[in-house]
Amino acid sequence: MENNVISLVSHLEKNSNIETVNEFDIKPIDIANDDITQRRIYSFLVDFSAIMVINTAIHTSYALFVSEFFQVLNVKVKAQLLMGNFGLQAGIFLMAYMTYFFYSMFILNGQTFGKMFFKLHTIDDNYIFEEDSKQYYLGARQAFRRSFGYLTCYLSFGSFFIFSILSEDKRGIPDYFSNSRTVSEEWLEGMKAYKKYEHEEVRINITSLDKAA
């Protein structure tokens, strides 16, 4: 077969069978049975650790800036600048938190560092339920809404993350906010192959059959 065209005369001359594909061989794993809860928990722990490293790096850079460019200030004033206040520190952390998830969801196409390590993807939920949908990654608005969902869960002291475990379809507040869901890499690859098969068009070339006869 070349360019999705089967030359029937070639098969007749070679007395060979036309290969077929069983759709059940490429149908993706049932998403309801694709249990990735444990991987998602480990993934978030990696992501939270990465955010803490980023937050520490920002504060370290700020301390170096104050020490380098404000040398004329006395020690007391420098200490006040370095310590800052709780509102400033919380604001920096929340900004790092939001930026990290937005960058991962939008620029990295739905993969944080933790998701990369544990082979997970966050995808547009419409990709699953709309047959003609080929774009599985999130748009900017979805990425922002999902990041805001993560922030909401954090501000609840982590209690809202329990929805991802208790809900029937394993989706949490960030998923519902952004119309997205997290799936395994294996499931996504299976879905890609399934959609490709569903939209594949095969034509049979019956020209020159008189020669074969």
Tokens of 56: 């520490």
CA 123 – CA 188 distance, rounded (Å): 9
Residue 15 φ/ψ region, left for φ over 0, alpha for ψ in the -120 to 50 degree band, beta for the rest: left
Output DSSP code: residue 2. Answer: B
CA 120 – CA 98 distance, rounded (Å): 20
Mind listing the pLDDT tens digit for each residue in 154-168?
A: 888 777 777 777 777
Task: Give the residue-averaged pLDDT of 23-31.
Answer: 48
CA 176 – CA 160 distance, rounded (Å): 12
Domain ranges of the chain: 5-212
DSSP string, 146-157: HHHHHHHHHHTT
DSSP string, 7-44: EHHHHHHHT-PPP---HHHHPPPPTTT---HHHHHHHH
CA 88 – CA 66 distance, rounded (Å): 15
Decide if pLDDT at 29 tops 90: no
Share of the chain above pLDDT 90, in %: 27
Decide if pLDDT at 38 tops 70: yes
Closest to 182 measured CA to CA, from 174, 193, 190, 194:
174
pLDDT for residue 102: 94
Mind listing the pLDDT tens digit for each residue in 147-204?
A: 999 888 888 877 777 777 777 777 888 999 999 999 999 888 888 888 777 655 545 5
